Amino acid sequence: MLSDTIAAVSTALGEGGIAIIRVSGPQAIPQVAPLFKSRIPLTEADSHTVHYGHIVSLQDGEQLEEVLVTVMKGPRSFTTEDVVEISAHGGVISVRRVMDLLLQQDIRLAEPGEFTKRAFLGGRIDLSQAEAVIDLIRSKSDRAFSVALKQVSGSLSARIHELRHTLIETLAHIEVNIDYPEHDVESLTADFIKDKSQEVMQGIDKLLRTANEGKILREGITTAIVGRPNVGKSSLLNALARDNKAIVTDIPGTTRDVIEEYVTINNIPLKLLDTAGIRETMDVVERIGVERSKAAFSDADLILLVLNANEELHEDELALMEQIHGRQALVIMNKMDLPSRLDTEKLRSFFAEASIVPMSVLEEEGLDRLEEAISALFFGGKLESGDLTYVSNVRHIALLKKAHKSLQDAYEAAEMLIPIDMIQIDVRLAWEQLGEIIGDTAADSLLDQIFSQFCLGK
Amino acid sequence: MNYDGGSYDVIVIGAGHAGCEAALAAARMGCRTLMITINLDMVAFMPCNPSIGGPAKGHVVREIDALGGEMGRNIDKTFIQLRMLNTGKGPAVHALRAQADKFLYQHAMKETMEKTPNLTLRQGMVEELIVEDGRCAGVVTKTGTVYHSKTVILTTGTYLRGKVIMGELTYESGPNNQQPSVRLSENLRELGFDLVRFKTGTPPRVHKDSIDFSKTEIQPGDEKLKFFSFETKSSDNEQLPCWLTYTSPVTHQIINDNLHRAPMFTGIIEGTGPRYCPSIEDKVVRFSDKSQHQIFLEPEGKNTSEYYVQGLSTSLPEDVQLAVLRSIPGMEKVEMMRNGYAIEYDAMVPTQLWPSLETKRLPGLFTAGQINGTSGYEEAAGQGVIAGINAARKVQEKEPVVLDRSQGYIGVLIDDLVTKGTNEPYRLLTSRAEYRLLLRHDNADLRLTPIGYDIGLITEQRYEAFLDKKGRVDREIIRLQETKVKPVQVNEALASYGSAPIVDGSNLLTLMRRPELAYSFVDLISPSPEELDEEMKEQVEIQIKYAGYIEKQLLHVEKLQKMEKKKIPDDINYNEIHGLAMEARQKLTKIAPISIGQASRIGGVTPADISILLVYLEHYNRVTAAKG
C-alpha cells in the first residue's frame, strides 16, 4: 500500500478534448514502458520531458492510442514519487482502453485522494493542509463507496459470489489436504484443480463478455451509418434524432467528418455515427475523414448501410458489403418512393431478408420498421434483456482479467504437476481479486469454510 | 503468615509447554528465574495427545529450536515414532510429526530445567500478583510465600477456574485431576483483565492388551529419519507403530441414543470449544451423513500399556464412553483405563496484549500459552519462548523481539492473537499464513537462527555450524548457475529422468528448475566440490525449484515490511483524529497497534482509515520534529 504503483484518470471523464491519466509509484516508469512505443524508450527518458508515441497492445504491438507521455522523476513530482502522465484523446473509450492496459500491469487503481495523500506524505503539501487532505480522503472514499455499492449490486454481485464460492470450496479442499494429511478426505488431484479453475475462468469470460454489453448500456450501442455520398445518411440520422429526442454532442478529439448523436430506441441507447462518405479519394483532407470513418466503422457494434434503391449497386458499395459481411448490420434501401433499380438478388446473397429494411427517409416512411429491426436484433439476439448483468467499471474489468490470469496460472501449474500448496497461491489470489470487486477480502471465511465443509479433529 | 521467598528477575507461573520454554529462555539469557508450579510432577506434561508436530505445529517446533528453545531437542530425545507428513506435496508443507513417550518427555524436560543455571523450580500455587507503582512486581502463593520480581509470566494453561465435565458430572479440576487455580483467576479479574470461558477435551485411554490390533491398520514410522532440532543428527530410539480403525454404525447409534446425556447438548458446557477439535458426539451430529470416522490408536510411551484413542474426544458419561469404545472394530473387549472429559477454563482476551506478549494493562506481566486462548503444545511453547525472551529483555532494558508474519508461524500466531483476538481456542494452520512458501519446515533455521544468536540463546558453536551450512548452500547455488553445460554432456542423463533433451547450451541451475529433476541429477553431471549433506542438497533444490513462487511472495513481504516499519507512537489519541470512522476509532483504541501494518489487519479498519492515519502520523511527526 505504501510502495505500490497506482493510476487514475486525473481529468473529469468526458469533459474537454484531452484526458490525462496519471501513474505514480516506484515502478511507474518500468510498468508503463512496455505499453508505450515512441522514439526513445520510456525507461531512458529524462525527467520532465514529453514524448509523442502510441499506447500499444502487449500481445501484438498494435498501436491503440495516440498519446503524449510526460515523465517526472521523484522527488520532483506532485507525489514526490516517479510519475508518468499520459495525455490521450478525451473520449471515454480511449481513456478506458489505456486504463485497462495499465491495470493489467502491476499497477492498481488509485484509492480516492491517494495522489494527494502521497504528495502530503512525501512532504509536498504544507502541514497546515493535513486536515484538508484527510477531509478529501474521507469524502472521496465515502462517495466512491456508495457508487461502488450501486455498481456491484444485484446480479453481478451474485455471480461473483457464485464464482468465489466455487473457489473457496476448492481452497478449503486444498487446505484440508495440507493441514490434515492423515484425514480421510478425498485427496486432491491435478484434474480436480484444473476442472475448477476452468469452470471459474469460463464464468469470468462470461462476465467479461457482458462487460461489453455494459459498455453498450452506458454509452449506447455504437452505430455507424455508412454509405456512398448522397444516399441519405444524414437525413436518416436527422430522422432518427427527431423521432427520438436526440442529444447532439460534439465529439472531442475528432474532426467534423464524424457526427455523433445519442438516441434511445425502445429503451436501447444508440450512439449514432454519421461517417463521411466512404469512397476512395485523392483529396488529402477528405482522405483523413475517410480514414476516421473507417475506424468508426470498424469499432461499431451495429452498422446501418444506406443504399439508394433508385440506383444500381456501385462497386464501392459492393466492397463495403464485403467488409460488413459477418457483422451485425441492417441494410436500408432508401428512396423506395422512387423506382427501384437495385439488384435485390445480389443484396440477398449478402444479407438476410430480415435485415433489409425498405424506407423512404424523405417521406419518413418505414422508420418504425427500422426501429423494430434494431430492437429485434439486440433484444432478440445478443442482449439478454431482463438479465443485464454488466460490468462496466474499468476497475472491475481489470480485476476480472487479473483473476482470470491467476486461474490460468493455477491451471498451467496443475498441468505441470506443481505441488498443490503452490497452485493454491494462485487460486487464492483469484479468490481475493474477485473479492475486491465486491469489497470482500476477509481471510477468515476460508477457515469457516474448511470447518463447515469437513469433519476434522482429534 | 506471609514470608519473603526472595526476589528474581523473572517469575514463571506454570510448568507446561509454555512455562518451560519461557523459564529456560529467561534463565539462559542470564536472568534469575523462578518457575512455580502446582505440582512438580507435571512439568511438560501432555494432558492430551502424546504427539508433537504436524503441519504448522511442526514448523513451530523447528522455529522454537532455531530461536534456542527446548521443545525440538526434547522430542528428538524422547520420540517413539517420527513421520514426515505431506511428502507428496510441496516442500513448504512437509511437516514432521512425532509420537512422544510422554513420560520420558516430561522427565527429560525436567532434568534439563533442573540443570539450567539461574533457574529455580518451586512447587506452589500462586494466588495473587503483587502490583507496585502500576507494575507487576511479584507473586504471593497459597502458603504465604512472597516472591518479588521485575517481571512475571503467566502460563496457566487450562488451570484457571478449571472445571471437568463428563455426562451429568462436573467438578472443579485442572487437567488430569490436578488442582485448579481459582483464586488467581479472581485476582486477574480484580486487576481489570477481561477473561473468557473456553472449553477443550480429551479422549479416553485404553489398555494395549485389550485391543485386537489384527482388526486395525498399522501406521509405522519413517525409516529414514529427520529431526526437529538442528542439533540432532541421529537417533537410536526404537519406534512404535500407531494403529488405525474406524467408528461403526453402532458407535453412531449409541451416541445418538445418548445425546440427552451429552453435556455438549444439554447446556452444561458453556465454554466455546474449538471447531477443529470437536468431540465425537459433535462430529456425529454435525456430519450425520458421514458413515464412519477415523480412530487412531497411539501408544503413550514405551513403559506403559496406555493407548490414546485419537478421534474420540468426548464428554459423554463414563458408561456411554465404554459402550462407544467397544463398538469400534478391534476394541470389542477394550479396557478403558482413563475416561475422556471436557474441561472448561478461563482465558485472557488476547487483544489485551502487546505483540511482545506483555499485558497492556499491567506492565511487567506477560502471558503465554493456553491462557491466551490458544490450544496445542506447540502453540504454547512458541509463545513461551517469546514471552521468556521479552521478559528477559525487559529486565535488561532492551527492545522486545517481535516476529512478523513473514518470519515465522510464531509471528503469525501472535499477530493473529493480539490483533484480531479469537473467539474459540486458536489452533495454528498453515492456511493462516500468507507466506506459506517462505515459512517452510526446511528453512526455519535459516529464518530464525540469526535472531536466536543475537538474543543470546544460540551458542557460538551452533551459530558457526549454521553459517557453514548456509555458506555451502549459497555457494552451491552460485556454482550451479555458473556451470554451463552442452547438450552432449547432459542429454543422456536428462533422458534417464524422462526429461526433454536440450538443444543449446544451458546451465545446471536452469535445468534444475524442471519439476522432474532432483539434486541427484547434479551429482550425476557435476558433483559439488564441497561436501553437502542431504539437508543441504534439499535446500539447494528447493531454493532453485521454487524460486519463481518464492520471489513472488518476497515481493509481497517487502510491502508488508514497509507497513510494519511505520510505527505508531504510544501516546496517539485516536479520538483526536477527525475523519476516522467511528468503528475504526474504537477498534484502534482497543487494540493499540504498534505499527501501520498491524493497524491495517484490524477488522473494521478500512483502507481509507489507514490513509487518514498515515496523513495524521506524518503531521504528528513533522510537528514533533519541529518541536525538537
> Which tens digit of pLDDT belongs to each residue from A236-268?
887 877 665 444 433 333 334 455 666 767 656
Rounded to 5 degrees, φ, ψ at B528 are -65, 140
Q: Is B608 on the interface with A (CB under 8 A)?
A: yes
Q: Supply the pLDDT for residue B346.
A: 97
Q: Are B615 and A121 in contact (CB under 8 A)?
A: yes
Q: Which residues pair with A360 in a beta bridge?
A: A365
Interface mutation target, options B289, B315, B416, B615, chain A, most CBs of A under 10 Å: B615
Q: In this predicted structure, which of A9-13, A245-249, A383-387, B569-573 has the lowest mean pLDDT?
A: A383-387
The shortest C-alpha distance from A266 to chain B (Å) reads 42
* Phi (first) and psi of residue B270, to 5 degrees: -100, -30
Span A423-431, average pLDDT: 93
Q: What do you get for the CA distance between the two ends of chain A, in Å?
A: 40
| Calpha distance B587→B420 (Å, rounded) | 10
Question: Cell 504498534 appears where?
Answer: B594
Is the pLDDT confidence value at A3 over 80?
Answer: no
Pick A419's closest partner by Cβ from B89, B610, B619.
B89
On chain A, the residues whose CB falls within 8 A of the CB of B294 are 182-184
pLDDT at residue A350 greater than cutoff 60: yes
CA distance B321 to B326: 9
pLDDT for position B496: 92
Chain B positions touching A137 (Cβ under 8 A) are 579, 608, 611-612, 615
* Ranges A255-259, A325-329, B152-156, B367-371: which has the least confidence: A255-259
Residue A392 confidence class, pLDDT cut points 50, 70, 90? very low
pLDDT tier for residue A329 given thresholds of 50, 70 and 90:
confident
pLDDT above 70 coverage of chain B, percent: 100
- Mean pLDDT, chain B, rounded, equals 95
Of A421, A447, A458, the CB nearest to B93: A421
pLDDT score of A364: 78
Res. A27 pLDDT band, cuts 50 70 90:
very high
- Tell me if chain A has a CB within 8 Å of the CB of B278: yes
Chain-centroid distance of CA B587 in Å reads: 27
Could you tell me the pLDDT band of residue A109, with boundaries at 50, 70 and 90?
confident
DSSP string, A24-41: ESTTHHHHHGGGEEESS-
- Residues 6+ away with beta carbon under 8 Å from B576: none
pLDDT, residue A408, reads 96
- Comparing A137-141, A251-255, B257-261, B513-517, the range with the smallest average pLDDT is A251-255
A233 annotated to bind ligand:
yes
Q: Where is average pLDDT lowest: A134-143, A259-268, A428-437, B134-143?
A: A259-268
> Taking CB atoms and an 8 Å limit, are B563 and A419 in contact across chains?
no
Q: Which three cell numbers stand for residue A215?
A: 459498455
State the average pLDDT over residues B303-313. Answer: 96
Whether the predicted pLDDT of A1 surpasses 60: no
Q: What is the mean pLDDT of residues A19-43?
A: 92
Q: What is the pLDDT of residue A458?
A: 59
User: Which secondary structure element, helix H or strand E, spans residue B135, and what is its range?
Assistant: strand B135-141
Instruction: Give how far Cα B191 sits from Cα of A97, B19, B134, B183, Å.
Output: 62, 22, 10, 12
Interval B77-87: pLDDT, tens? 999 999 999 99
pLDDT of residue A218: 47
The answer to whether residue A207 scores a pLDDT higher than 50 is: yes
Q: Does B616 touch chain A (CB under 8 A)?
A: yes
Residue B453 CA from chain centroid, whole number:
21
Lowest-confidence pick of A109-118, B38-47, B317-326, B341-350: A109-118
Measured in angstroms, the CA of A396 and the nearest CA of chain B are apart by 18
Taking a C-beta distance cutoff of 8 angstroms, is the pair B99, B106 a contact? no
Do residue A181 and residue B55 have CB atoms under 8 angstroms apart? Answer: yes
- Which candidate in A125, A171, A179, A447 is best for mutational testing of the B interface (most B CBs within 10 A)? A179
Contact (CB<8Å) A179/B429: yes
- The 8-class DSSP code of residue A42 comes to G
% chain A with pLDDT above 90: 23
Pairing mode of beta strands A221-226, A268-274: parallel
Name the more confident of A371 and B526: B526
Please give the residue that has the higher pLDDT: either B408 or A340: B408
Query: Are A175 and B563 an interchain contact pair (Cβ–Cβ within 8 Å)?
Result: no
Three-state DSSP at A450 gives helix
pLDDT at B625: 81
Q: What is the pLDDT of residue A281?
A: 46
Pairing of strands B3-13, A356-358: unpaired
* pLDDT of A354 strictly over 70: yes
B225 burial type by CB count under 10 A (0-12 exposed, 13-18 middle, 19+ buried): middle
Greater confidence, A243 or A320? A320
A386 annotated as a binding-site residue: no
Give mean pLDDT, residues B380-399. 98
* pLDDT score recorded for residue A423: 92
pLDDT in tens, A39-56: 999 999 999 999 999 999
pLDDT of residue A390: 34
Q: Are A39 and A68 in contact (CB under 8 A)?
A: no
Which of the residue ranges A42-46, A301-305, A428-432, B118-122 would you say has the lowest mean pLDDT? Answer: A301-305
B500 reaches A (C-beta below 8 A): no
The model's pTM: 0.81
What's the CA gap between A257 and A236, in Å, rounded?
16
Question: Does residue A389 carry a pLDDT above 60?
Answer: no
The torsion region of residue B592 among left (phi > 0), alpha (psi -120 to 50) and beta comes to: left
Q: Which of A152-166, A297-311, B7-21 has the highest mean pLDDT?
A: B7-21
Cα separation, B324 vs B330, in Å, equals: 12
Q: What is the mean pLDDT of the segment spanning A417-441?
A: 86
- Whether residue A274 is annotated as binding a ligand: the answer is yes
Does residue A136 belong to the interface with chain B, where contact is any CB pair within 8 Å?
no
Predicted local confidence at residue A216, as pLDDT: 44
Q: What's the confidence (pLDDT) of residue A243?
A: 60
Mean pLDDT across the stretch B586-611? 92
B450-464: average pLDDT:
97
Q: Is A2 on the interface with B (CB under 8 A)?
A: yes
B607 touches chain A (CB under 8 A): yes
Where is average pLDDT lowest: A66-80, A170-184, A204-218, B144-158? A204-218
**Encoded amino acid at B372, one letter:** N
B374/B350 Cα distance (integer angstroms): 9
pLDDT of residue A344: 78
Q: How confident is the model at residue A275 (pLDDT cuts 50, 70, 90)?
A: low
Segment B253-259 mean pLDDT: 96
Distance CA A203, CA B153 (A): 54
CB contact under 8 A, A130 and B562: no
Average pLDDT over residues B56-85: 98
Q: Measure A158 CA to nearest chain B CA, in Å.
A: 23
Chain A environment of B419 (Cβ under 8 Å):
none
CB A417 within 8 A of CB B237: no
- The answer to the question of whether A251 is labelled as a binding residue is yes
- Quick one: pLDDT at residue B325? 98
Which residue, among B278, B247, B266, B7, has the nearest Cα to B120 in the 3D structure?
B7
pLDDT score for A387: 29
